[in-house]
Homo-oligomer: A and B are copies of this chain.
């Protein structure tokens, strides 16, 4: 398969109290359409990724709402799959393009999370988990902490390994003007910050974020941006895999098998191997999630994710830079936007447009977007 990424758009991520969800979605969308050098008349459908705005602000029907507010009188769809909503929307838009029904599609992921209390948000996000998990009083920090504890026990992963993911991603975010946290943190600060859920400190968790990300995708491979100086970028692999929503029903706490399955399928579609990947954006909602992703994607062997990060391989300049945007940890995690933002970052890397955080000679990139504790995983492969 081959789908062209014609344009990208991204709002600032952060606490954006002067913007509504619709403002954010429209800002990112118009930037993506403008970046594609198309006009709204060339867009044939709009896919909106959003998880929790219906709960928080009682606004559903976002596909048509965003489309009509853009002045696009075309089909609108909302796609939801918890924190994997963005990746799923990209995947379903691709299916509609491959079917030939729509030629150019705008996909926009958006979330507005900072207008309510932390307890409301924590409760709302548990909609991504299972009923039994909610009854047990679990939250996502708790669920991922269980996975981290199991990984530490089984493979000797240390708190320092977790903190090193955070330090690296904060460094990357310090180079990203759109990031929520554009500052570095020291290993000491990350390790000695307040514990939010053992073994996690504050710096092991991604923040609550407002933001939107958008991409214009096209089935017309001959379409071209008028500015000929930018590399064309194509999505060449798109796969989804699932597991039980309930973490306790999985066979293992220390691997996310859906990551393996989705990556295997997406790489096969792209005709690539994991060793061909030059840059990746993975779902580091908690630091352990990035370590699991390194292992389950096959960047390193099972159990060696911690040391793989420690050696600096995943830092800008390393052999396999991961989360150059700053990741969910430091760029921010507006849940419905995250999967689309990953596509935006990799596209801009492959175009050579990421300035100080540019990975040299990046030709093949990968995104991994997770829903829940790994119940849903979406992997995309992008190439020049």
Contacts and interface: CB of A to CB of B under 8 A. Distances in A.
Minimum-distance CB pairs A-B, first 5: A98-B99, A60-B127, A75-B240, A61-B82, A95-B96
A81 B95 contact: no
Interface stretch (A7-15, A140-148, A368-376): A368-376
A156 B201 CA distance: 69
A80 B81 contact: no
B372 A64 contact: yes
Nearest to A63: B81
A127 B68 contact: no
Given A65-B245, A79-B79, 15 more contacts: A59-B131, A60-B80, A60-B82, A63-B81, A63-B88, A63-B376, A64-B371, A65-B375, A67-B242, A68-B242, A68-B249, A73-B243, A75-B241, A76-B376, A98-B101
A12 to B, nearest CB: 23
Contact of A376 (B55, B61, B100, B134): B61
A124 interface: yes
A54 B43 CA distance: 30
A74 interface: yes
Contacts of A124: 58
A29 B142 CA distance: 33
13 contacts: A51-B60, A52-B60, A55-B55, A60-B82, A61-B129, A61-B372, A64-B243, A64-B372, A74-B242, A75-B376, A78-B80, A94-B99, A98-B98
Number of copies: 2
A128 interface: yes
Contacts of A98: 98-101
A324 B172 CA distance: 61
Contacts of A63: 80-81, 88, 376
Given A73-B242, A242-B76, A81 B54 contact: no
A124 to B, nearest CB: 7
Interface string A90-110: 011011101111000000000
Interface in A196-248: 240-245
A124 B91 CA distance: 29
A48 to B, nearest CB: 9
A253 interface: no
A126 B58 contact: yes
A95 B371 CA distance: 23
A130 interface: yes
Interface in A33-92: 45, 51-52, 54-55, 58-65, 67-68, 73-82, 88, 91-92
Nearest to A56: B55
Contacts of A307: none
Contacts of A62: 80
A123 interface: yes
B64 A81 contact: yes
A77 B81 contact: yes
A124 B82 CA distance: 19
* Among A60, A82, A371, residue most surrounded by chain B Cβ atoms (within 10 Å): A60
A43 to B, nearest CB: 12
Contacts of A129: 61
A112 B64 CA distance: 24
A251 to B, nearest CB: 12
